Structure formats: structure tokens, C-alpha cells
Structure 1
Amino acid sequence: MKYSPGFRVSIIRKTQDGSGRSTSQLAPKTGISYTTILNWIEKYRTGKLSLDDADGMTPHQRNPGEKLALLLENKILPEEQKGEWLRQHRLPYSLSTLL
């Protein structure tokens, strides 16, 4: 499955934000393979993927796999963190509009 540059950047940011989240922690939470995430990080480090690629993504620009990964990730968040998470991913408050 091909993921948009914006989605890839959102995953990379989670490994680079200083929170201590590792690739092995993110893979099962997002449904994206460990190897795929490592490949994205390598592209970021070699300059083939810019963190600016995520700006301006709307729910309608995401493919079904991205939407599913975001829905799964949202399910495990504590309620008090969901608002900030939705803003970071530029998602509407009601995730039902993703579908």
C-alpha cells in the first residue's frame, strides 16, 4: 500500500519528537510494518522526504489505509489527549467523517 508523504511524515515526527517512542512501539499501534517505518526514517535522514510534506493534508487526501491507521491509533489514546492529536493530524473532531 502506498501512503501519502504527509502520512509518512506524521509517523516520522512521532519518532523524532523527543517522546521516546520507538519504531517498534509505533509499528503495532499504527498497523504499519517496522521495516516500512525504518525506510521512511531513512528517506527523511537522507533528505528524500521533508517534514514540510505533511502540511495541508486533509482527510479526503488520505488513502483508506492511512485512515484506518489513524483510527486505530486514536482508539488507544487517553481521552484528554485526543483533541491535540486531532489538531496535529488536521482531522475533524468527529472521526466518522474520515470514512
Structure 2
Amino acid sequence: MVAFCAFDFSLNQKLADGFTRREHYIAAQLPIEDWGYPEFSDSLFTLWQHFLRLNKCRPVGLGNSPIPQSEIQAYQANRRIRLSNFELDAIDKLDLAALAEMNRKTK
């Protein structure tokens, strides 16, 4: 799942022409199955959705920052859910992979 996350975030990398890889694939009407995504288990779809929602809660500032634990707590409280330790650990790993990719493309 971490490889899936890193690949997904790499699609947002701007190329020399100013467009992202994702935009090129969409413009070429390339089917998503041909984009090169790593295998992803359907059983992890809900976890991926939690991460994508939390990803929008990153603090805005001078650089890319991790998802704050306070945002994860608020996310759980607002949705009246309790993420398991496995899910919380997975979100942390996905967050690290996403940050690494975001920092790679800003250099």
C-alpha cells in the first residue's frame, strides 16, 4: 500500500512542460489500468479513503508537514469512528511516503 501511495503522489509531479504526469495520462485518455499502479488490495480501500481525507488536513506553511495527530483525533471524533492501531500505523507510513514524494518533487 505504501508503494501505491508513493506512486499516486508521484503522478502529481510537474514535468518540463508544466503539466503533471496525471494530466498527461488523462489528456492521452490512457486507461487507469495502464498507468502503472502497483497492486492494491480492495480490502484496504477504506483505509486509503481515510488517508486521502486526512491528507487534506496538512498544515499550510513554508514546507510540507506531516498530518498532525490532533487532526487524526478530530477526524475520528467527527466521524464517530475509532481507527485501529494497524490503521493508525498504516496512515503514519502512508504519510511518510507521501511526504517523501512531495519533498522529492519540490527540490
| TM-score by shorter chain over 0.5 | no
What TM-score, normalized to structure 2? Answer: 0.25
